[in-house]
Chains A and B, each alone.
Chain A
Amino acid sequence: MRHPRRLSPQTVAVLLALADQASRWSHGYDLCRRLGLKAGTVYPILMRLAERGHLETSWEQPDVVRGRPARHLYRLSLDGAKLAKELQRTDRGRAAFLARAVV
């Protein structure tokens, strides 16, 4: 596990938001809206989390009816879920603050 305390508040917020979804998949734009963060902040975080193995990614089916391409989906991997739990355990006050901020 990589130094959870060194994660930025935004990264912690993304981890907690995904942890809140449990095993359900999330879209990038939905995360942006939910967290009140810009895409330019959320996507680099998603990239880093995926590269570190904290995130699973997948592609949904294209929306043929509306003519829209398949969207990318994200959820925590087992490692990511452990990290989120560790964050909540070791930094409960901060996590609680961020959890309130993202709801």
Chain B
Amino acid sequence: MLAALAAVFAWIAVAAPQSAATAAQVVSKVVDFTLFIGAPLAAGTVLLIRRLKAATRGRLGAERLLGLATAGLPPARQEWGTAMRAELLSIDDPSARRAFARSAAFAALRIGHARPLAIAGTTGLLAAAGTLAVSRLLLAVDKPIGIGIYTMFAPVLLLFAAALLGAATRRSFRSGLEAGVVALFVALVGVFAVMAVEAVTWAEHYGVYVFDGDRPSTGHLGPGGAVGDALSPFFIGLHLVLWVPWPVLGAALGAAVRHRHPADGAAARQGSSRS
């Protein structure tokens, strides 16, 4: 998969007019792509597909839906996931099974999200605050080189950390993924909101784009053009591609911590009784 992605990018690099340059430049681009986009994307995709396959293996329809919704619940909730899945199998009427699965899946998706959401919100706000700080710092030191390098790569670390923390504290891949994915969306909104506002400041002070510090070919950059550039679908898509793998990777690493405490998972799986 990674090789296929690298091949596609190599083809794009060779086909692009500006890169009709040297072979060394093409190789450098392919290496950059592989390190920063291809490898994380491939690893994240493989991890996610393996988890989804494990959650739905041998199940059909309603069972698959509930299996997915209850997959990777934190240890304290696993017993309830098992209970709902077992109850589903006891229902013979197909329409009642579907109704039960839909409703129970909704319940499973709602339970116990307070901590992951708190982690996600904090992470997203940190990414946005960092964007503002970097922008203001560069303006303060009179270096309008653009904040794209920060927005593309620094939030990656935050998203990875949020997912890792979410997964490790609850010993659950799913909790980590939820924290990471919500953090990604909060960060995306926060970072681009800050970029849009800062784009106007950069345009007014230096007449350059906030993302890369380039000047427009026309020489003049108005507020509308500056904001439009900052919020262009290309930049948003670029950030998404760079950021998306890291919540998955962080969640996988955080969930691996569970293996250090096998007793917790085993206790939850056994299904304790208070009686």
Chain A residues with CB under 8 Å of chain B are: 27-29, 32, 38-41, 43-44, 46-47, 50, 53, 55-59, 63, 68-72, 75, 77
Contact B100 A69 (CB under 8 A): no
Give the residue of B80, B89, B272 whose beta carbon is less than 8 angstroms from that of A69. Answer: B89
Contact A72 B83 (CB under 8 A): yes
Q: A56-B273, A72-B271 are in contact. Are A27 and B107 (CB under 8 A)?
A: no
Interface readout for B155-183 with A: 1 if CB under 8 Å, 0 if not?
00000000000000000000000000000
Distance to closest chain B CB from A15 (angstroms): 16
Q: A28-B87, A29-B87, A71-B83 are in contact. Are A59 and B104 (CB under 8 A)?
A: no
Contact A77 B274 (CB under 8 A): yes
Contact B104 A70 (CB under 8 A): no
| A-B contacts, 11 listed (Cβ < 8 Å) | A28-B87, A29-B90, A39-B84, A43-B83, A47-B111, A50-B274, A56-B273, A57-B272, A68-B86, A71-B90, A72-B82
Across the A-B interface, the 7 shortest Cβ-Cβ residue pairs: A72-B83, A40-B103, A40-B107, A38-B103, A39-B104, A56-B275, A39-B103
Q: In chain B, what residue has the closest Cβ to A72?
A: B83
Contact B104 A40 (CB under 8 A): yes
| Number of A-B residue pairs at CB separation under 8 A | 79
Give the residue of A27, A38, A44, A55 whose beta carbon is less than 8 angstroms from that of B87. Answer: A27
**Given the complex, which residues of A lie within 8 Å of B107, measured CB to CB?**
39-41, 43-44
Chain B residues with CB under 8 Å of chain A are: 77, 79-80, 82-87, 89-91, 99-100, 102-107, 110-111, 271-275
**Given the complex, which residues of A lie within 8 Å of B103, measured CB to CB?**
38-41
Give the residue of B77, B89, B106, B275 whose beta carbon is less than 8 angstroms from that of A68. Answer: B89
Distance to closest chain B CB from A78 (angstroms): 11
Contact A70 B106 (CB under 8 A): no
Q: How far is the CA of A3 from the CA of B102 in the complex (A)?
A: 32
- Counting chain B CB atoms within 10 Å of each CB, the highest count among A28, A39, A44, A70 belongs to A39
Contact A55 B274 (CB under 8 A): yes
Q: How far is the CA of A72 from the CA of B84 in the complex (A)?
A: 8
Contact A58 B84 (CB under 8 A): no
Q: How far is the CA of A80 from the CA of B255 in the complex (A)?
A: 35
**Given the complex, which residues of B lie within 8 Å of A77, measured CB to CB?**
274-275
Contact A40 B89 (CB under 8 A): no
Q: How far is the CA of A53 from the CA of B90 in the complex (A)?
A: 27
**Given the complex, which residues of B lie within 8 Å of A72, measured CB to CB?**
79-80, 82-83, 86-87, 271
Q: How far is the CA of A38 from the CA of B105 in the complex (A)?
A: 11
Q: How far is the CA of A13 from the CA of B111 in the complex (A)?
A: 21
Q: A39-B100, A43-B84, A69-B86 are in contact. Are A29 and B91 (CB under 8 A)?
A: yes
Q: In chain A, what residue has the closest Cβ to B80?
A: A47
- Counting chain A CB atoms within 10 Å of each CB, the highest count among B105, B106, B275 belongs to B275
Known contacts A40-B105, A57-B79, A71-B83; 9 additional CB pairs below 8 A are: A29-B91, A38-B99, A40-B102, A43-B107, A44-B110, A57-B271, A68-B86, A68-B89, A72-B79
Q: In chain A, what residue has the closest Cβ to B77?
A: A47
Q: In chain A, what residue has the closest Cβ to B111?
A: A44
Q: In chain B, what residue has the closest Cβ to A25?
A: B275
Distance to closest chain A CB from B35 (angstroms): 44
